[in-house]
Copies of this chain bind each other. A is one copy, B any other.
């Protein structure tokens, strides 16, 4: 991804560490893509009826990660309150989706890989929250 390269070209000041921000954005878009793919993989499983909650968590997590990645990609007119609240929602979505996927990780590789993506994303959001204060 070109996230770091783009982050370095922002022509004004950024209140947060650019490398930390770039890493968070990358983790978010990776998690969003994994969740979209995992929802679809669950849908194709024979036992789809037992994966309903997993599909739903995946869809929510994908939408919330996407919105969060976009907010973090903008620096003009920075508003810490929005960034903080959206990161908190994202931590929640990643935790729930990671928990749900983990329960199916032994049986479904897509859930195992997706759970990893959710855990990384939860951590990246928490690190950024700590930096924002």
A-to-B contact residues, CB < 8 Å: 1-3, 5-12, 25-26, 29-30, 32-34, 36-41, 43-46, 48-49, 52-57, 59-60, 62-64, 66-67, 69-71, 73-77, 79, 81-82, 85-86, 88-89, 91-93, 96, 100, 108-110, 112-114, 116-117
Q: Please pick, from B5, B30, B56, B79, the residue contacting A113 in the complex, using a CB distance under 8 A.
A: B5
Q: Which 8 A-B pairs have the closest CB atoms?
A: A53-B77, A67-B67, A85-B89, A9-B110, A9-B109, A56-B77, A85-B92, A40-B74
> In the bound complex, what is the Cα–Cα distance between A36 and B32 (angstroms)?
16
Q: Are B110 and A10 in contact (CB under 8 A)?
A: yes
What are 15 inter-chain pairs, A to B, with CB distance below 8 A? A6-B33, A6-B37, A10-B110, A11-B110, A29-B29, A33-B73, A52-B76, A55-B76, A56-B74, A57-B79, A59-B74, A64-B86, A66-B66, A66-B67, A67-B67
